Amino acid sequence: MWALRVSSLARAAFCSRSGNSAGLSSVPPFQEDGRGRKKVTLELLDHLERLALVDFRNQEGVERLEKAIEFADQLLSINTDGVEPMDSVLEDRCLYLREDNVTEGNFAEELLKNANQTLEEYFIAPPGNIPLPKLEDRDTFLQKKKPSADMLPLTF
Amino acid sequence: MAASAIGCSRRWFRAGNFNFGNVAEPRCWKSLVLASTFFRSASKTAGKQNRDVPWAAVVGLEIHAQISSNSKLFSGSQVQFAAPPNSLVSFFDASLPGTLPVLNRRCVEAAVTTGLALNCTINKKSLFDRKHYFYADLQAGYQITQHRLPIAVNGSLPYSLCTGKNQNELVSKTVRVKQIQLEQDSGKSLHDDTGHQTLIDLNRAGVGLMEVVMEPDMCCGKEAAAAVRELQLILQALGSSQANMAEGQLRVDANISVHHPGQPYGVRTEVKNINSARFLAKAIDYEIQRQINELESGGTILNETRAFDYKLGCTIAMRDKEGKQDYRFMPEPNLPPLILYDAKSLPTHTSHLQVVNIDQLQEQLPDLPSVKRAKLVERYGIQPQHSFTLLNEDGLIEFFETVIAATQMNPKKVIGWILKDVLGYLKQYNVMVEESPISPLLLAELLNLLESGMISSSAAKQVLEIMWNGEGKSPTLIVKEKKLELIRDQNELEHICQAVMDGHQKEVEAIKKGNKKVLNKLIGEVQRETRGRSDPVSVKQILEKQLLLQPTKKNP
């Protein structure tokens, strides 16, 4: 029962209100380890890496993610029964309208200073949304993770 | 390709020989009668299998129109096509920390005006949301859009199509508009395959977009193309968007599915980013036919995103859009609700610069294309389908009206010269109306020469050709130089007629034996002899007179 509840809460925290993340509908994104702490499943890590093109790199990265989720989960303990959700604390204010005048721009050089890599006046990004290869074909630490006593069994 | 010939009477069939190169031109719009006949004979021969049962296709569109404004939706950087990379980017557009969105009033007005023109209900309160996805040209990792409560809902877009054998029957249709939402455009990615990297230009990031979501009320590419064209004309008439597809100011996504009539709709695919008016109908019809072929050969349709490849003429599954995306929508915390007002609800203590008044925008709406067409038909007595052609070409109405103002010729006759002859040349040589070497005033001068009986209609066509190729010489001068005036001298004409009759004894005999039709051949001969410089009516009179006078000769 507890595991079920955790997974549904976690999903609510991590996914949209409207439904599950792709590919995660059948697998809970979190599972509980022996000490009552939630562990992120391999499927979820793979999905996040795929979405964000972020490499969690190592076990430490994964633990940091888990801690962040745990921190955010505190919100779920607040009782909001009968409270109308707010969009923002400013929602009763007027939305200020700007006149259609050009007031900014022409500082490409300054902007590009922030970038790691540039070419002429362009930012350089990794190849966009070319999907990550399947987990098996990828050089990632997730690949090398072996199921151990306190790790999850791989459920592919 | 008989099978695909009956596209749009809402009956699709499996294409006989599925050919990747040129399937995509199903000649839609044969008459309904023809289609149903085809259906009957097809089902008779089909036998046991479910093949050749007709398919119905359902097409819905999502159209992104870039708002025509000086500055972006939420920042003060300039909106301009093809500027040097990253020159039109504010700190907000680059989503640097600490920057906040400030809504552009002009963009709100453009969306309200568009909503009104599309018969929408304007929501007096609308909300902004964040739609998250990760892409290098979306700096913030989310797009500000209107997911929960868009600015306009429940509209309709009436449009017309030319159908029938000669494309001269007009059919009126309507597509429902589900909603119009304000949102930000993304930046642009240039993929460098060899360098294995992506170049990012944020000039477009944050430009205001109106997303027009249409209900799936269309059934083929031709209908969708006609609806998009009408929307484009409306946006241009309003000035809310320049709606130039080549510059990406109008981008179309199409949701497409097929099913057997009477059964539930099939699984749909989404064809993304159709950025060319020319390929819009093609891409949609290709996808419909692909789904039918897939289903008939026992396959299934996946709910997937596909792209249309202009070179191959087919749609291809987009790998990076596999699976349903999770956008994790959330309310945009930095923007309070957008409140609009009407004459009744105008606030008293607020600066008018902070108020968008729906009623005032309604009053200021310019003539929409449908009204312009009706006025043309009424004012000049031209055919409705001609009014469509006039409106479809940029600048052609002005051209037409300038000619009308400068000529005595009846507009009904003028329209023929413009649509058949001038537009024919323009299309043939791919020239814009405003760049036409035949100016409206010179054309009017030519038509006046014709109308006053100075030249014949065939001579006028010769002059027009010279004008098209010429250096702006006036038609009067051309007529003089080329000696194309009608032969006024009755004696000279009679002389020529006599000579033609002498040279065509067989025909003369035939006419005398009662075959009056042969007279036309003699008139044609006289025309040829005079290089179009004779008036067919007087030639006919002269020939008839001379035939009566001439004694019947025996054949030598």
Dump pLDDT digits (tens) for B388-413.
999 988 889 999 999 999 998 999 98
Q: How many whole angstroms separate alpha carbon B139 and alpha carbon B88?
A: 15
Q: CATH says B490-549 is which class? A: mainly alpha
Minimum distance, in Å, between the CA of residue A35 and any CA atom of chain B: 31
B158 pLDDT above the threshold of 90: yes
Residue A137 included in any domain: yes
Q: Is B251 helix (H, G, I), strand (E, B) or coil?
A: strand
Residue A83 included in any domain: no
Region A86-112: mean pLDDT is 89
Between residues 333 and 352 of chain B, which touch chain A (CB distance below 8 Å)?
A: 333-339, 350
pLDDT in tens, B344-392: 998 888 888 899 999 999 999 999 999 999 999 999 999 998 999 999 8
Q: Does residue B81 sit at the A interface (CB-CB below 8 Å)? A: no
pLDDT band at A132 (very low <50, low <70, confident <90, very high): low
pLDDT at residue B43, rounded to an integer: 37
pLDDT-above-90 percentage for chain B: 50
pLDDT at residue B324, rounded to an integer: 60
Q: How many whole angstroms separate alpha carbon B419 and alpha carbon B426?
A: 10
Beta-carbon count within 10 A of B513 CB: 9
pLDDT at residue A15, rounded to an integer: 41
pLDDT at residue A144, rounded to an integer: 59
Query: Which are the contacts of B473, defined by CB distance < 8 A and separation ≥ 6?
Result: B466, B467, B481
pLDDT band at B550 (very low <50, low <70, confident <90, very high): low
> Which candidate from A94, A112, A124 shows the least CB-CB separation from B197?
A124
Spatial contact of B218 and B87, defined as CB atoms under 8 Å apart: no
pLDDT band at A22 (very low <50, low <70, confident <90, very high): very low
pLDDT at residue B155, rounded to an integer: 97
Q: Does residue B368 sit at the A interface (CB-CB below 8 Å)? A: no
Between residues 117 and 136 of chain B, which touch chain A (CB distance below 8 Å)?
A: 127, 134-136
According to the 3-state scheme, what is the secondary structure of B112-181? HHHHHHCCCEECCEECCEEEECCCCCCCCCEEEECCCCCCEEEEEEEEEEEECCCCCEEEEEEEEEEEEE
pLDDT band at B539 (very low <50, low <70, confident <90, very high): confident
8 Å CB contact of B354 and A97 = yes
Q: Does residue A133 sit at the B interface (CB-CB below 8 Å)? A: no
In which domain, by residue range, is A55 found? 36-72+133-144
- Compare B484 and B264 and report the one with higher pLDDT: B264
Q: How many whole angstroms separate alpha carbon B292 and alpha carbon B54?
A: 10
- Compare B451 and B537 and report the one with higher pLDDT: B451
pLDDT band at B31 (very low <50, low <70, confident <90, very high): very low
Q: Is A125 helix (H, G, I), strand (E, B) or coil?
A: strand
Q: Does residue B364 sit at the A interface (CB-CB below 8 Å)? A: no
pLDDT at residue B178, rounded to an integer: 97
8 Å CB contact of B328 and A16 = yes
Interface test with A, best of B72, B75, B89 (most A CBs within 10 A): B89
Between residues 15 and 54 of chain A, which touch chain B (CB distance below 8 Å)?
A: 15-23, 51-53
B40 pLDDT above the threshold of 50: no
Q: Does residue B207 sit at the A interface (CB-CB below 8 Å)? A: no
A23 pLDDT above the threshold of 60: no
8 Å CB contact of A90 and B320 = no
B3 pLDDT above the threshold of 90: no
pLDDT in tens, B260-271: 998 999 999 999
Q: Does residue B16 sit at the A interface (CB-CB below 8 Å)? A: no
pLDDT at residue B22, rounded to an integer: 38
Minimum distance, in Å, between the CA of residue B305 and any CA atom of chain A: 14
Query: Which neighbouring-strand residues pair with B169?
Result: B163
B475 pLDDT above the threshold of 50: yes
Residue A46 included in any domain: yes
pLDDT in tens, B234-289: 999 999 999 999 899 999 999 999 999 989 999 999 998 888 877 899 999 999 99
Region B43-70: mean pLDDT is 77
Instruction: For the full predicted model, state whether its pTM sits above 0.80.
Output: no
Minimum distance, in Å, between the CA of residue B260 and any CA atom of chain A: 30
- Compare B124 and A1 and report the one with higher pLDDT: B124
Which H or E element spans position B73? none
8 Å CB contact of B353 and A97 = yes
Pick the residue from chain B with its C-alpha nearest to A130. Answer: B320
> Which candidate from B71, B91, B329 shows the least CB-CB separation from A16?
B329
pLDDT-above-70 percentage for chain B: 88
Minimum distance, in Å, between the CA of residue A33 and any CA atom of chain B: 27
Minimum distance, in Å, between the CA of residue A150 and any CA atom of chain B: 30
Query: Which are the contacts of A109, defined by CB distance < 8 A and separation ≥ 6?
Result: none
pLDDT at residue B50, rounded to an integer: 54
B328 pLDDT above the threshold of 50: yes
Residue A109 included in any domain: no
**Beta strands, E only, B323-413:** 330-331, 338-339
8 Å CB contact of B198 and A102 = no
Angle at Cα B462 formed by Cα B459 and Cα B468, nearest 5°?
Answer: 140
Q: How many whole angstroms separate alpha carbon B55 and alpha carbon B216?
A: 16
Q: Does residue B322 sit at the A interface (CB-CB below 8 Å)? A: yes
pLDDT at residue B170, rounded to an integer: 86
**Can you tell me which residue has the tokens 């920042």?**
B75
pLDDT in tens, B113-143: 999 999 999 999 999 999 998 788 899 999 9
Q: How many whole angstroms separate alpha carbon B521 and alpha carbon B323?
A: 71
Region B438-465: mean pLDDT is 88
Strand B152-163 relative to strand B121-122: parallel, antiparallel, unpaired? antiparallel
Query: Which are the contacts of B25, defined by CB distance < 8 A and separation ≥ 6?
Result: B4, B282, B285
pLDDT at residue B376, rounded to an integer: 94
pLDDT at residue A54, rounded to an integer: 73
B26 pLDDT above the threshold of 80: no
Q: Does residue B144 sit at the A interface (CB-CB below 8 Å)? A: no
Query: Which neighbouring-strand residues pair with B181?
Result: B211
pLDDT at residue B51, rounded to an integer: 57
For B56-65, B152-161, B441-450, B502-511, which range has the lowest pLDDT when averaged over its residues?
A: B502-511
pLDDT at residue B494, rounded to an integer: 82
Q: Does residue A97 sit at the B interface (CB-CB below 8 Å)? A: yes
How many interchain CB pairs under 8 A, A with B? 166
- Compare A36 and B36 and report the one with higher pLDDT: A36
Minimum distance, in Å, between the CA of residue B134 and any CA atom of chain A: 6
Q: How many whole angstroms separate alpha carbon B437 and alpha carbon B435?
A: 6
Q: Is B272 helix (H, G, I), strand (E, B) or coil?
A: strand
Spatial contact of B62 and B212, defined as CB atoms under 8 Å apart: yes
8 Å CB contact of A95 and B324 = no
Number of domains present in the structure of chain A: 1
pLDDT at residue B29, rounded to an integer: 35
pLDDT in tens, A111-126: 999 888 898 899 998 7
A10 pLDDT above the threshold of 90: no
At residue A98, φ and ψ (nearest 5 deg) are: -95, 145
pLDDT at residue A145, rounded to an integer: 57
pLDDT at residue B375, rounded to an integer: 94
Biggest CA–CA distance in chain B, Å, is: 106
Residue extents of the structural domains in chain B = 3-331, 369-482, 490-549
pLDDT in tens, A49-71: 876 667 777 888 888 888 998 99
Cβ contacts (< 8 Å) between B68 and chain A: which residues?
A: none
B70 pLDDT above the threshold of 60: yes
Cβ contacts (< 8 Å) between A19 and chain B: which residues?
A: 326
Interface test with A, best of B204, B326, B332, B350 (most A CBs within 10 A): B326
